[in-house]
Amino acid sequence: MTDLRYPIGQFTWDGEYTQEVISSWLDEIEQLPAQMRHAVSELSNEQLNTRYREGGWTIRQVVHHVADSHMNAYIRFKLALTEDKPVIKTYAEDKWAAMPDSVLPVEISLQLLDSLHLRLTELLRPLSQDQLERTFLHPESGEVAINRNIGIYAWHGKHHLAHITSLCQRKGW
């Protein structure tokens, strides 16, 4: 049985951060909004309010979480590009997922992801090797390079997309 928390496994990368690898991850980031929209396009409100696993978030909360998380990532990338090893702020994801805006229609966050991912890829595609190696300091994870963070967020999008698609598959939706 697959661990429903990590339907595609956890992020791991021990390889080189080549231009091909970075470009592939950026392609995944670029494609995520359309994939997310497709995954939820035919779901009813009742289905959107279904938890992807016992104790997990609803599909609606997952969509809003991806927007919240990727907004934070965008800011972290910009901080790393404009400051010397900035210490970034963490946030309480579970508390954010329970805020009043978590009941909004998913289309709100899907539109946000369309724009945000366009900005992300336009920001990150032209970076030089030196820029890709710039870092920020995460209070829990330590020093994180931009190149690695691109991989983390490519994985993060696929990870949450799989929460949605695997639930739909299990339910026969």
Which tens digits make up the pLDDT trace of 101-113?
A: 999 999 999 999 9
What is the average pLDDT across 105-132? 98
Q: What is the mean pLDDT of residues 131-136?
A: 98
Three-state SS for 136? strand
pLDDT band for 155, please (50, 70, 90 cuts).
Answer: very high
CA distance 159 to 6: 7
What average pLDDT does the structure give for the chain? 97
Instruction: Say if residue 7's pLDDT is above 90.
Output: yes
Q: Provide the total of helices (H) and of strands (E) in the chain, helices listed first.
A: 7, 2
Grade residue 135 by pLDDT with cuts at 50, 70 and 90: very high
Across residues 127-132, what is the average pLDDT?
98
Enumerate residues 6+ apart whose C-beta is below 8 A from 15. 21
pLDDT value at residue 2: 75
Domain residue spans in the chain? 19-171
Mean pLDDT, residues 45-74 taken together: 97
Q: Which CATH class is domain 19-171?
A: mainly alpha
The pLDDT, as a whole number, for residue 156 is 98
Q: What is the mean pLDDT of residues 66-92?
A: 98
Q: Look at residue 1 and tell me whether its pLDDT is greater than 70.
A: no
DSSP state of 104: S
Amino acid identity of residue 84, one-letter, is D
For residue 15, pLDDT over 90 is answered with yes
Which pLDDT tens digit goes with each residue over 18-56?
A: 999 999 999 999 999 999 999 999 999 999 999 999 999
- For residue 159, give both structure tokens: 């990870």
Phi and psi torsions of 18, nearest 5°? -80, 165
pLDDT in tens, 141-150: 999 999 999 9
pTM confidence score: 0.96
Can you tell me which residue has the tokens 């899907």?
Answer: 110
Q: Judge contact between 99 and 109, C-beta under 8 A.
A: no
pLDDT of residue 163: 98
Residue of 59, 67, 12, 34 lying closest to 166 (CA atoms): 59
